[in-house]
């Protein structure tokens, strides 16, 4: 998952309900604390059967609440105080029972009473048996909660505690953070109703059945942009080359291998987009001939005949409609500004992101980046070294601000 400066000093209230997945909340709390969020935890009595208050107090560095009327503490209005304190709430794991309570407006324990007073963005992350998940009552409850503004982070397919596979496993940590990022985002409706296409990662050009031409791109910047567009409410498509990153949730992910594959998938969808961002490290050249069998080691030298791949962004820019916004990347080691502005003009872009790949603590396969944004109107903005998710925030902010 991505480091995120925007979590700094945020008040995150986590409600843990009864379920075997409760132990996974430890990873979530550790991530939030590491990113300088302040975390408070509330638990149902059933949750305490699966994980202890001591564990969660140790990780969150705050006391954990579980009793509506604790004997030794002043408790008359503490459910309201915690609700007022929170910038965002996560119910994780959210049990069948708690989801039903939230939908019905029942407040009969500490967690449900606090949830009744919450007035900030709330993420519900269900986890349960597949048959409970498929129960039409539960699905109807979730649909109604979603209409009320709750964010529903869906569970995953996989091995369940009962010993068989199905949908109901708690969402991965990446997906939980993706939804929390949407919840805390200051401009979560800025792209509502918009279609955003992002290309990410490297391409791989086949030489023979064993070898490829490729580059070091991890795809992290493109994935961060996809998270950012999702957080702003967009309908997002992520066209990505080979990567070790997990696919984001509730985003259309289209895996490709070669530059030609990426062009075909991008062209197929381009006319339906409002924003197109080319963050992929697409090969400039591909072998002229693909060898059907492995090239055997022979002489000391080997020559490959290469041909240029299609300039996808330049090709698509000729088909753009008036409302569409196009963003490109310039990964440079020399004459940074000159080369970036040349691409901006030649490809008729609205914005180009200059990425100095020699910058320490920034660039390819790293969690952070340092970029300069050049707008077609002549303005530019230089960003410091930032986590890539925060870079993505500034890219969209600058693009939409200048629109």
Q: Where are the domains of the chain?
A: 5-184, 195-401
pLDDT for 359 equals 74
Q: Is the pLDDT of residue 364 over 90?
A: no
Residue 345 DSSP code = H
Using 50, 70 and 90 to split pLDDT, how confident is the model at 403?
Answer: low
For 29-61, the pLDDT digits (tens) are 999 999 999 999 999 999 999 999 999 999 999
125 contacts 156 by C-beta, under 8 angstroms: no
Active site includes 345?
A: no
pLDDT for 250 equals 98
* Tally of CB atoms within 10 A around 360: 10
3-state DSSP call for residue 28? helix
Q: Is the pLDDT of residue 339 over 60?
A: yes
- What's the CATH architecture for 195-401? 3-Layer(aba) Sandwich (3.40)
Helices (H), 320-387: 336-346
Contacts of 57 (CB under 8 A, 6+ apart): 41, 63, 64
For 169-199, the pLDDT digits (tens) are 999 999 999 999 999 999 999 999 999 999 9
262 contacts 312 by C-beta, under 8 angstroms: yes
3-state helix, strand, coil in the chain (%, to 5): 35, 25, 40
Q: Among 62, 129, 135, 215, which one carries the catalytic annotation?
A: 215
Write down the pTM of the prediction: 0.95
351: closest CA among 359, 360, 361, 340? 340
pLDDT for 300 equals 82
Q: Over pLDDT 90: what percentage of the chain? A: 87
pLDDT for 355 equals 87
DSSP H/E element including 315: helix 312-317
Rounded CA-CA distance 312/198 in Å is 13
Angle between helices 220-231 and 173-184 (to 10 degrees): 50
- What's the CATH architecture for 5-184? 3-Layer(aba) Sandwich (3.40)
pLDDT for 21 equals 97
Rounded CA-CA distance 390/10 in Å is 15
pLDDT for 145 equals 98
Q: Is the pLDDT of residue 78 over 90?
A: no
Least confident range of 3-7, 86-90, 299-303, 341-345: 299-303
208: closest CA among 296, 128, 312? 296
HEC profile of 99-157: HHHHHHCCCCCHHHHHHHHCCCCEEEEECCCHHHHCCHHHHHHHHHHHHCCCEECCCEE
Residue 67 DSSP code = -
pLDDT for 302 equals 86
pLDDT for 318 equals 95
Establish whether domains 5-184 and 195-401 are of one fold: yes
Characterize 271-300 residue by residue with b for buried, 16 or more Cβ atoms within 10 angstroms of its Cβ, and e for exposed.
eebbbbbbbbbbbeebbeeeeeeeeeeeee
pLDDT for 74 equals 61
Backbone angles phi, psi at 133, to 5 degrees: -60, -40
Q: Is the pLDDT of residue 75 over 80?
A: no
Q: What is the residue-averaged pLDDT of the chain?
A: 94
């Amino acid at each position: 998952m991505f480091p995120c400066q925007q979590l700094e000093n945020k008040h995150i209230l986590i409600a843990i309900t009864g379920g075997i997945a409760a132990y996974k909340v430890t990873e979530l709390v550790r991530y939030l604390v590491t990113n300088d969020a302040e975390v408070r935890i509330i638990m149902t009595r059933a949750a305490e059967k699966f994980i202890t208050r001591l564990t969660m107090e140790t990780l969150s560095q705050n006391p954990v609440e579980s009793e509506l009327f604790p004997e030794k503490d002043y408790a008359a209005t503490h459910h309201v105080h915690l609700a007022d304190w929170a910038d965002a709430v996560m119910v994780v794991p959210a049990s069948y029972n708690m989801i039903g309570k939230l939908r019905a407006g029942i407040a009969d324990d500490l967690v449900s009473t606090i949830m009744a007073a919450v007035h900030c963005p709330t993420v519900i992350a269900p986890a349960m048996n597949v048959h409970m998940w498929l129960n039409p009552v539960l699905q109807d409850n979730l649909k109604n909660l979603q209409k009320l503004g709750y964010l529903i982070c869906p569970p995953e397919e996989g091995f369940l505690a009962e010993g068989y596979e199905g949908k109901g496993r708690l969402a991965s940590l990446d997906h939980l953070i993706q939804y929390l990022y949407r919840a805390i985002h200051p401009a979560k409706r800025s792209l509502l109703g918009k279609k955003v296409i992002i290309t990410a990662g490297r391409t791989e050009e086949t030489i023979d059945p064993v070898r490829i031409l490729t580059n070091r791109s991890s795809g992290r910047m493109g994935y961060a942009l996809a998270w950012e567009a999702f957080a702003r409410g967009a309908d997002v498509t992520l066209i990505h080359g080979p990567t070790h990153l997990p696919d984001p949730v509730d985003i259309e992910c289209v895996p490709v291998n070669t530059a030609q594959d990426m062009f075909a998938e991008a062209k197929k969808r381009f006319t339906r987009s409002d924003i197109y961002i080319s963050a992929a490290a697409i090969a400039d050249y591909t072998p002229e001939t693909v060898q059907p069998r492995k090239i055997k080691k022979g002489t000391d030298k080997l020559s490959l005949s290469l041909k240029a791949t299609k300039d996808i962004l330049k090709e698509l820019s000729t088909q753009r409609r008036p409302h569409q916004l196009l963003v490109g990347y310039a990964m440079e080691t020399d004459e940074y500004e000159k080369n970036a502005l040349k691409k901006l003009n030649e490809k008729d872009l609205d914005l180009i992101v200059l990425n100095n790949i020699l910058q320490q603590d920034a660039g390819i396969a790293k969690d952070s980046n340092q970029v300069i944004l050049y707008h077609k109107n002549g303005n530019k903005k230089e960003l410091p070294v930032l986590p890539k998710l925060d870079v993505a925030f500034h890219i969209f902010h600058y693009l939409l601000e200048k629109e």
